[in-house]
Amino acid sequence: MVQRQGHRAVAQLRTAWYEQRTWLYGLGSVMALLAVVLPTGLMHQYLTEARSLSSLHVLGVMAAACSFAALHGAGAVYFFMHWNRRARTLDLLHAWTRPASAVSDE
């Protein structure tokens, strides 16, 4: 009975893990696009609307764009580490609920 409940829990965790991995890939792709598109668009708009550019203005806009990209990169690393921890936990639970005969066969 405990064995079945363990397998059911592992199956539920595996389903949640696959769903979370799909969301991670989607979110990572969107964050990468935002980190490139938004600063580039802001820089283009700033350069087309400004008549005179000083080096401080250009450096300020570039610093803001780099900060934005770094923030999104940190978010992606956080989500990856969280996902990796979940994957390791799932592997440990799967090994824990595996029948003894399957372990001895390997």
24-29 contacts at long range (C-beta below 8 A, 24 or more positions apart): 24/79, 24/80, 24/83, 27/76, 27/79, 28/76, 28/79, 28/80
Task: Determine the pLDDT at residue 55.
Answer: 73
**Across all residues in the chain, what is the average pLDDT?**
73
Q: Which residues contact 24 (CB under 8 A, 6 or more apart)?
A: 79, 80, 83
Mean pLDDT of 11-15: 73
Task: Determine the pLDDT at residue 25.
Answer: 78
Total-model pTM: 0.44
75 pLDDT band, cuts 50/70/90, is confident
Task: Determine the pLDDT at residue 73.
Answer: 76
The DSSP-derived string for 7-34 is HHHHHHHHHHHHHHHHHHHHHHHHHHHH
